[in-house]
Every structure is written in structure tokens, then in C-alpha cells.
């Protein structure tokens, strides 16, 4: 069975992570920001799975499971915050929440 | 019994602690019981110890109680140790006894004050500190008590701190005495470095062993200790704080600024008399300072209108007598005068306090008058105190103590006619101003009737002190009047007797007659000028030079003005000029850069999540780069 | 299997790029689902079939459904698309792209140091995974359960209406 080189998988993961990062930095809509964070988590999970496959151990996959659980919790809280923000400020613009300005 | 010695200072400290911690929650009666009671218990213990000490004296003549070692650094190990000998016993009895009477008086006098528990907390702390000062076996512990009473003095002068005048008076007292205290601290450093200990007995022994009479080190140390004593006891040239210290409540003036704390300087010199004996020039300076102070303060007391300021100047003057006695080597005479002075001066202050309170806080004697029928208790006790102050012959305590000082000043090898004449003139001035107070306040026409009433807690201390002010002198009867020098004999266990010059020792009876006549003459002059022939007084003060002299004396010989011009103003000028010096630049620079850094950093706080995320990314990039390239 | 990996990698990359650049949130979500499915395929090729199933079920299924529900609750109208366009001028992309590119280059440099042995395509079956998960990582499971509980409580608390209990 042919195999994918480790380096390539990690590069794909890095590329997807980079896209997620761009998303976080560029979007003002909080929903897009949350989506971008999901992308980044997913990319990190990909790297874990690759490492698990490289060493033929289940540990990498276990890590992905934890990431999954974490992402679920984070999305639940994050989306409730989006709802709350929308209710309070009438917008989903992340830049509108700037009361902490120094 | 003697083992309970530590309780004497500990009980007032405990009282102060209770009042500080729980004073706000206690009722007024509770505060009064704790405040006066702790000093009362202390006085009772002191009295029991005294009985035991007198009936069964310790073999060496003193009793030492070592509690614990305070610090141990190298060879220097000052101990918390109490020492009871004849000298400290007399002082402790007076401080606790008079202190208790004044506390009892205060429970009624301060009744309406908001700071009732605060007042008693300070007073108890003061008594505790004073007892530490007196009982200390170690100069370092003595210094602790010394500074402690200074602190309490400051707190109590500024007790009514809402009036800036009172707060300023407190600060003045603190700063002026600090001048002396600093000199004293330097003296202590010198003693430690040269003799290696501060334990008083060891110190005296080593000083005698190592230093010759008149050696420069002994002179320096004695002079520095003298400076401390001068500051604390309000002698020339550091006397300016005491008249202003009358801003405090009257019981404070009675306890701290008349009876006890201001005599700490006298005690210090008596305690370290060996050092002063080693430095005859300094001892002469003590006598001269005493003589000059008693004259200057006596003149100033003559011109004051405020009854409490008269008493303040009178206190300075009487401590001048004690210094004079110390200066001529009449150690026990100084302590004797300390004791009688504590009785009659506390009495005068407390009686004056009653008068002032009943006259609606009126301090000016010229606005009083004719009060002897309305305030009989205050009048009779004040009269007893004034008679004692004026040293009315034979019947008053003040006569015996002052007479002893005058006689020994005359006869001592260190004294002589000149110092004696100064003391005699001072005695004349004393009896004038003492009875000037009596005549202006209690005789003449009634200008304003007193209001309110005073209870037994005010009167009982007055009466007891009045009795003491009269009979307190009979413990020491001079050779011409029965020859029963019990007091001197008792003190000679701790203090050496005066060394008399054989050529001058024979004239005691004549000196006493002269002193007695001078006292009576002073009373007559006071009666003539301030009661009988007021017009004479007016004629006397009409010429311009006389009026100027009056002003000059009333302002305390211009010392405040002098210090203001010589010290305060140049200092303020220098501070003003020096406001922008190089060192300030450095600190300004620190402040400026902190502000600039704050501005720069707060600019990064945009409040936008995206900016923060960008910052995180940049950080990740930099750290990864460091990992890669380094 | 190898070509499938590269194809799905390309799909995932493109879909992600679209997902983050859309003006319409729902379009973005759909792109994201595509991306997640592509990642699931990659998992399959990397010998993690169970994770591939979870990716589809939980990520693409449950979590994305959450997003969709929230979209529904927010009830954003068509004017939001216009607004998104205004919020995304082309120059806004420059800095993030430069930063991400630099980071990517750095990662590539790091990966250059890694010798690249071929991945063995042997699958790790769910039994193995479960043994490890509930054996060595039992504490991790407990912690994850607590985290989820906290997420539920937190969401319930934050989601309450103003003034309501």
C-alpha cells in the first residue's frame, strides 16, 4: 500500500491552518471568526492524525478526539456569545465591541 | 514581690492595647475603667514594690529583672532588662501615682470628647513608655521609651488635630525635640563603638576605667547626651516647643508637659551622672543652661496672658532649677525638686483646667477674676500649688526642694555665688508670676461667672495633689529645720552626695532666710502690682522701652522669631531654589518615561479582537523564527 | 490512496479559502462543510476511518448545524451581504496574508528539517483507539467531559434573555 509522505500531510495542515489564521485576522463578522477558528482546530487535528499514522499509534487520534470535544464546547459557548452580542449591540461586528480600548 | 516589676509598665501597655483594639466598642465607663484602672493597678504594684524595697532593701542596693535579650549582633547584645534602684523607684512612684490621679481627673475632664478612648489609649501608652524609660537597664531600651514618650507627646499635643494650630504645635514639638534626640542617638553610637555596650552599669564602669576626667571623648558623649536632655526637657536653646505644646488637652499638659516627660532629661543626666562627672566642662554647661533657662522662662512667664502658657514657662523655669542642681552635682536635690514639682505643677495644671472648663474655654487670665467664691476647690488647691511653686517658706513642699537646690548651689564646689544669685532672682520671679496667676484669676472683681459644675472625679485628684504639694517636702528637712534628710539618704544609694566647698558650707541658715524673704517679697510685689495698685502696673509699662521689653518677653525672648529667620526661612529658601536640581531631574525622567510608556502601551489597546490576534500571530512568528535561526 | 489524498487536500484548501472569503455567511458555511468532508477523506487515507466518521458526523453534522441554527436565530437580512463587502476591502487582506505567509514559510523551513519517511497506510481500528482512549487517557476523557459540561452550563447561562431567569 502506497503511503503519503509525512512532510506533505503536515504542509497541507499548515496551509489550512494559515487560511484559518487569515480568516481570523481579516473578518469582522464574529461568525466568520468562529468558523476560521474551527478551520484552525481542524488543521491542528490533521497534524495530530498524521503524527499518529507516522508512528502507528492510536495516541494521535485520541488527541483529535480531545480537540473535537474542545471544539464542540468552544462553539457552544462562542455561538451563545454571538447571540448575546447581537441581542445587546444589534450587530455581529467584532470591532464594535471595543470598550476595552486603552 | 520585686519579681512583679515587669507588670508596672506591662499593665498600662495592656490597657493601651485593649483601648486601641476594642476602644470603639467599649462604653465610656468601660474606657474609663480600663484607661484609669490600668494606671491605677500599675501604681498599686509600684507602691507594693516600693514598700518591699524600702523595708527589705536588696543587698546591692538595686534589683535587676532580665526579661530577654533584645538583639544579638556580634558582641552587642542589648537586653530588655528592668532595673529598680532608689532613683528609678522615686521616679516610678511619681509617674504612676501622679499619672493615676491625672487619669482619674481625665475620666471626667474628657467626658464630652469624641476621642475618649483614643485619648486614654494614648495616655496609657505614654505611661507605659515613660515607665520603660525609667526602668530601663540599658540605654537602648531607655531610648525606646524616650522616643515612645516623644511619640505620645506628639499624638496628644495634636489630639484635637482638626484645628491646624494644634497639629502644627504637635509637629513643632516633635521636630524640635528631634534635634536633641538625634544628638542623643549620636552619643549612644559613640558609646557603643567606644565602650562596646549600652548596659548602663557596665557602661559607667567602663567609662570610669577607660576615660580620664575631661578627656575629649567623655566631653563629647556628655555633651551629646546633654543635647538630648535639653531637647526633651525644653531647656535653652530648644525650649520653644513647650509653650506651644499647651495646645493639647489640659490633663496632657499636666502629665506629659509638666510632671513626667519633660523631666526625662533630668532623669537621663542623673542616670548617667558618672559621664557628666567625667566631663566637668559639660557639667558646668548644664548648670549654666539651667540658670539661664530659669531666668529667661521666668521673665517670659511674667508677661503671658494665657494661664496655661504661664504654667508652661513656669515648667521650663522649674526644670531649669533641676538642671542647675544637676550642674552643681546636687543630684538628689534635682530629683527632689522633680518630685515636688510633679505634685504642684500637675496640681496647678489640673486646677487651671477646671477654671478654664468652667469659664467656657477661656484661657486669658485678664478676662477672669474674682473666682475664689465660685470655685472654692479650684481656688484653694490652686493656692496651695502656687504657694508651693513660689516656695513659700516652711509650709510648702516647693520651699524645701528649691531651698535645697539653692543651698547646694551655693555650697557645692561646682557652684558658687553667681549661680546662686541667678537661682535667687529666678525664685523672686517665680513667686511674682505664681501669685500673679492667683490674684488675676481668683481675686479682684468677678468679670464673668463660671458655668456648669465639676464632679468628685475632678476634685479628688486636686485635693490629693494639694496635700502632697504641701506635705511632700517634709521627707527632706534641712539641717537647720530638724535635720531629717530621709530623701537624700535614700537616694544616696544610687546617686552620690554633693561635694561641698568647706569655705562656703557654713552659711545655710542665712541663705534660707534670704530665700524665704525673696519668696515673700515676690508675693508682695505680685499683690501690689496685680491686685492693689493696678495703676502702678500701667504706669510701669507705659514707656516705650518697657512695652517693647514686655513684648519681647511675651514672645519668649524672640526665640521663635530667631529660629524662623536663622533656620526655617533659609531652609525654605534653599528648598525652593533646589526644587529643580539634577537628582530631581532623574526622578522626573523616570516619571516622564513611565508616562510615555503608558501612552505607548495604551495605544496598543485598541479594544479590537483582530488587533490582538495580529499581535499573537506576530509573537508566534518571532518565536518560531528564534527557534529556527538560533 | 495516495492520489485521493492529494485531491482531497486540494479540495480542502480551495473550500477553506472560499469559506473564509465569502460575503454570505451561509455560503461560507457550505464551503466549510465541503472542507471538513475533504479533511474526513484525508483521515481515511491516513488510516483513521473512525475519525473520518466522527469528522463527518460531529464536525460537518452537529457543529455546523449549530452554526446554521444561530444564523437562523440572528435572522440576518440581505443587507448584511453588502455590509460584509464593505467590511472586506482588498487591502484588508494584505497584512493577514503576509503574516500567514511568513508563518507558513517558517513552518515549511521547520518541516524541511524533518526527514520524511512514508506513512504506513495501515488503519488503526476503533477497538485500538478505544483501548488507548479509556486506558491511558481515562483522565483526559474525564477532563473532556467536564469541559463539555462547563460548555453546556456556560452556554445555558450566557444564552438566557435579559431580565429572564
Q: Which span out of B26-35, B501-510, C138-147 was modeled with the highest average pLDDT?
A: C138-147
d(CA A82, CA A84): 5
Average pLDDT, chain A: 87
Q: What pLDDT does C165 receive?
A: 41
Q: How many CB atoms lie within 10 A of CB B580?
A: 8
Q: A101 vs chain C: nearest CA distance in angstroms?
A: 20
Looking at the domain C2-159, which fold is it?
A: 1.20.120
- In this prediction, the residues of chain C whose per-residue pLDDT falls under 70 are 113-122, 162-165
Chosen for mutation from B608, B617, B619 (greatest number of chain C CBs closer than 10 Å) is B617
Q: What ipTM score was computed for the predicted complex, to two decimals?
A: 0.89
Instruction: Give residue limits of the domains in chain C.
Output: 2-159
In B, minimum Cα distance to A25 occurs at B610
Q: What pLDDT does A1 receive?
A: 46
List chain C residues with CB under 8 Å of B624.
103, 106-107, 110
**DSSP character string of B504-564:** GTT-HHHHHHHHHHHHHHHHHHHHIIIII-HHHHHHHH-SHHHHHHHHHHHTTTTHHHHHI
Which burial class, exposed, middle or buried, applies to C26 when counting CB atoms under 10 A from its CB (0-12, 13-18, 19+)?
middle
The cell numbers describing B100, all together, are: 493615676
Q: What pLDDT does C106 receive?
A: 86
A48 Cβ neighbours under 8 A, 6+ residues apart: A60, A61, A63, A64, A67
- Establish, for the pair of chains A and B, how many residue pairs have beta carbons separated by less than 8 Å: 34
**Residue B341: strand, helix, or coil:** helix
Q: At what angle do helices C138-158 and C126-135 cross, to 10 degrees?
A: 80
Average pLDDT, integer, range B123-151? 90
Average pLDDT, integer, range B239-253? 86
Q: For cell 505611661, what's the residue?
A: B127
Residue B488 and residue B500 in contact, taking contact as beta carbons nearer than 8 Å: no
d(CA B358, CA B333): 37
> Largest Cα–Cα distance of chain A, in whole Å?
59
List chain B residues with CB under 8 Å of A26.
610
Cβ–Cβ gap A76/C152 under 8 Å? yes
Q: How far is CA B9 from CA B4, B90, B343, in A?
A: 10, 15, 21
Q: C115 vs chain B: nearest CA distance in angstroms?
A: 16
**DSSP character string of C110-150:** HHHHS--PBPP-----HHHHHHHHHHTTHHHHHHHHHHHHH
Q: What pLDDT does C114 receive?
A: 65
Q: What pLDDT does C117 receive?
A: 60
Cβ–Cβ gap C100/B617 under 8 Å? yes
Q: What pLDDT does C164 receive?
A: 46
**Residue A61: strand, helix, or coil:** helix
d(CA B74, CA B197): 11
Q: CATH classification of A29-101, choosing from 1.10.287.3510, 2.60.120.200, 1.10.3470.10, 3.40.50.720? A: 1.10.287.3510
Q: From the centroid of its chain, how far is CA A54? A: 23
Q: What pLDDT does C163 receive?
A: 53
d(CA A60, CA C50): 13
How much is the pTM? Answer: 0.69
Q: Is the peptide bond before B237 cis (omega within 30 degrees of 0)?
A: yes
List chain C residues with CB under 8 Å of B612.
none
Q: Which residues pair with B444 in a beta bridge?
A: none
Q: What pLDDT does B590 receive?
A: 93
The 3-state secondary structure of C36-63 reads HHHHHHHHHHCCCHHHHHHHHHHHHHHH
Q: Report which DSSP code applies to B329.
A: T
List chain B residues with CB under 8 Å of A101.
605-607
**Residue A92: strand, helix, or coil:** coil
Helical spans, DSSP H, in B472-507: 486-491
Tens-digit pLDDT profile for residues B159-215: 888 888 888 888 888 988 888 899 999 999 988 888 887 888 888 888 888 888 888
The cell numbers describing B593, all together, are: 518615561
Angle at B582 between CA B580 and CA B586, to 5 degrees: 100
Amino acid at each position: 500500500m502506497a503511503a503519503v509522505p509525512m512532510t506533505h500531510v503536515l504542509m497541507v495542515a499548515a496551509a489550512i491552518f494559515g487560511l484559518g489564521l487569515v480568516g481570523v485576522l481579516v473578518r469582522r463578522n464574529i461568525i466568520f471568526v468562529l468558523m476560521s477558528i474551527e478551520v484552525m482546530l481542524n488543521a491542528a487535528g490533521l497534524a495530530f492524525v498524521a503524527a499518529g499514522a507516522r508512528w502507528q499509534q492510536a495516541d494521535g487520534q485520541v488527541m483529535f478526539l480531545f480537540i473535537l470535544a474542545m471544539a464542540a464546547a468552544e462553539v457552544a459557548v462562542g455561538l451563545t456569545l454571538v447571540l448575546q452580542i447581537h441581542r445587546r449591540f444589534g450587530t455581529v461586528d467584532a470591532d464594535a465591541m471595543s470598550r476595552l480600548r486603552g | 514581690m520585686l519579681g512583679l516589676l515587669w507588670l508596672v509598665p506591662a499593665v498600662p501597655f495592656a490597657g493601651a492595647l485593649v483601648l486601641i483594639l476594642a476602644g470603639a466598642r467599649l462604653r465610656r465607663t468601660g474606657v474609663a475603667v480600663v484607661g484609669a484602672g490600668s494606671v491605677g493597678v500599675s501604681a498599686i504594684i509600684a507602691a507594693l514594690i516600693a514598700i518591699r524595697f524600702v523595708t527589705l532593701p536588696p543587698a546591692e542596693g538595686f534589683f535587676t529583672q532580665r526579661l530577654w535579650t533584645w538583639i544579638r549582633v556580634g558582641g552587642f547584645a542589648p537586653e530588655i532588662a528592668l532595673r529598680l534602684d532608689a532613683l528609678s523607684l522615686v521616679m516610678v512612684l511619681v509617674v504612676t501615682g501622679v499619672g493615676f490621679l491625672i487619669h482619674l481627673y481625665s475620666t471626667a475632664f474628657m467626658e464630652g470628647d469624641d476621642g475618649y478612648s483614643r485619648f486614654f489609649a494614648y495616655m496609657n501608652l505614654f505611661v507605659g513608655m515613660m515607665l520603660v524609660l525609667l526602668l530601663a537597664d540599658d540605654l537602648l531600651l531607655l531610648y525606646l521609651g524616650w522616643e515612645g514618650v516623644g511619640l505620645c507627646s506628639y499624638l496628644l499635643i495634636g489630639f484635637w488635630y482638626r484645628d491646624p494650630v494644634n497639629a502644627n504645635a504637635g509637629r513643632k514639638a516633635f521636630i524640635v525635640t528631634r534635634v536633641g534626640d538625634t544628638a542623643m542617638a549620636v552619643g549612644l553610637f559613640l558609646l557603643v563603638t567606644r565602650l562596646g555596650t549600652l548596659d548602663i552599669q557596665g557602661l559607667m564602669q567602663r567609662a570610669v576605667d577607660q576615660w580620664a576626667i575631661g578627656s575629649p571623648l567623655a566631653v563629647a558623649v556628655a555633651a551629646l547626651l546633654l543635647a538630648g536632655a535639653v531637647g526633651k526637657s525644653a531647656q535653652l536653646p530648644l525650649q520653644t516647643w513647650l509653650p506651644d505644646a499647651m495646645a493639647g488637652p489640659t490633663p496632657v499638659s499636666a502629665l506629659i508637659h509638666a510632671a513626667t516627660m519633660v523631666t526625662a532629661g533630668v532623669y537621663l543626666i542623673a542616670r548617667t551622672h558618672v559621664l557628666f562627672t567625667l566631663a566637668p566642662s559639660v557639667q558646668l554647661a548644664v548648670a549654666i543652661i539651667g540658670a539661664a533657662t530659669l531666668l529667661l522662662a521666668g521673665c517670659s512667664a511674667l508677661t503671658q496672658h494665657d494661664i496655661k502658657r504661664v504654667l508652661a514657662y513656669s515648667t521650663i523655669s522649674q526644670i531649669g532649677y533641676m538642671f542647675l542642681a544637676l550642674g552643681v552635682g546636687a543630684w538628689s536635690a534635682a530629683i527632689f525638686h522633680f518630685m515636688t514639682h510633679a505634685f504642684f505643677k500637675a496640681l496647678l495644671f489640673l486646677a487651671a483646667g477646671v477654671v478654664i472648663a468652667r469659664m467656657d474655654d477661656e484661657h486669658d487670665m485678664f478676662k477672669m477674676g474674682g473666682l475664689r467664691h465660685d470655685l472654692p476647690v479650684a481656688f484653694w488647691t490652686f493656692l496651695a500649688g502656687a504657694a508651693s511653686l513660689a516656695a513659700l517658706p516652711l509650709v510648702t513642699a516647693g520651699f524645701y526642694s528649691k531651698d535645697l537646690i539653692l543651698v547646694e548651689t551655693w555650697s557645692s564646689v561646682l557652684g558658687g555665688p553667681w549661680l546662686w544669685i541667678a537661682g535667687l532672682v529666678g525664685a523672686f520671679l517665680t513667686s511674682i508670676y505664681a501669685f500673679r496667676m492667683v490674684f488675676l484669676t481668683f481675686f479682684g472683681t468677678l468679670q464673668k461667672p463660671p458655668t456648669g459644675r465639676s464632679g468628685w472625679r475632678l476634685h479628688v485628684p486636686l485635693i490629693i495633689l494639694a496635700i502632697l504639694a504641701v506635705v511632700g517636702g517634709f521627707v527632706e528637712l534641712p539641717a537647720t529645720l530638724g535635720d531629717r534628710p530621709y530623701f537624700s539618704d535614700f537616694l544616696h544609694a544610687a546617686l552620690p552626695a554633693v561635694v561641698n566647698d568647706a569655705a562656703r558650707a557654713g552659711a545655710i541658715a542665712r541663705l534660707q532666710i534670704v530665700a524665704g524673704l525673696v519668696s515673700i517679697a515676690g508675693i508682695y510685689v505680685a499683690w501690689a502690682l496685680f491686685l492693689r495698685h493696678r495703676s502702678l502696673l500701667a504706669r510701669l509699662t507705659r514707656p516705650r522701652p518697657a512695652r517693647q521689653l514686655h513684648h519681647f518677653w511675651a514672645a519668649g525672648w524672640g526665640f521663635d522669631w530667631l529660629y524662623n529667620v536663622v533656620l526655617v526661612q533659609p531652609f525654605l529658601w534653599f528648598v525652593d531654589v533646589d526644587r529643580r536640581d539634577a537628582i530631581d531631574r532623574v526622578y522626573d525622567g523616570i516619571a516622564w518615561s513611565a508616562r510615555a510608556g503608558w501612552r505607548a502601551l495604551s495605544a496598543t489597546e485598541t479594544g479590537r479582537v483582530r488587533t490582538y490576534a495580529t499581535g499573537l500571530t506576530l509573537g508566534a512568528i518571532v518565536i518560531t523564527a528564534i527557534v529556527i535561526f538560533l | 490512496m495516495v492520489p485521493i489524498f492529494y485531491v482531497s487536500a486540494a479540495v480542502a484548501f480551495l473550500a477553506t479559502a472560499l469559506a473564509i472569503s465569502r460575503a454570505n455567511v451561509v455560503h461560507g458555511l457550505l464551503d466549510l462543510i465541503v472542507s471538513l468532508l475533504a479533511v474526513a477523506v484525508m483521515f481515511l487515507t491516513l488510516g483513521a476511518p473512525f475519525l473520518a466518521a466522527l469528522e463527518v458526523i460531529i464536525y460537518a453534522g452537529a457543529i455546523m448545524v449549530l452554526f446554521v441554527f444561530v444564523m437562523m436565530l440572528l435572522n440576518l437580512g440581505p443587507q448584511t451581504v453588502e455590509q460584509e463587502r464593505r467590511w472586506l476591502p482588498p487591502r484588508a487582506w494584505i497584512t493577514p496574508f503576509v503574516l500567514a505567509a511568513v508563518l507558513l514559510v517558517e513552518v515549511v523551513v521547520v518541516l524541511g528539517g524533518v526527514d520524511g519517511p512514508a506513512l504506513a497506510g495501515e488503519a488503526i481500528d476503533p477497538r485500538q483507539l478505544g483501548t488507548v482512549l479509556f486506558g491511558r487517557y481515562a483522565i483526559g476523557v474525564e477532563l473532556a467531559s467536564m469541559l463539555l459540561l462547563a460548555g453546556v452550563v456556560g452556554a445555558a447561562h450566557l444564552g438566557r434573555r435579559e431580565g429572564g431567569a
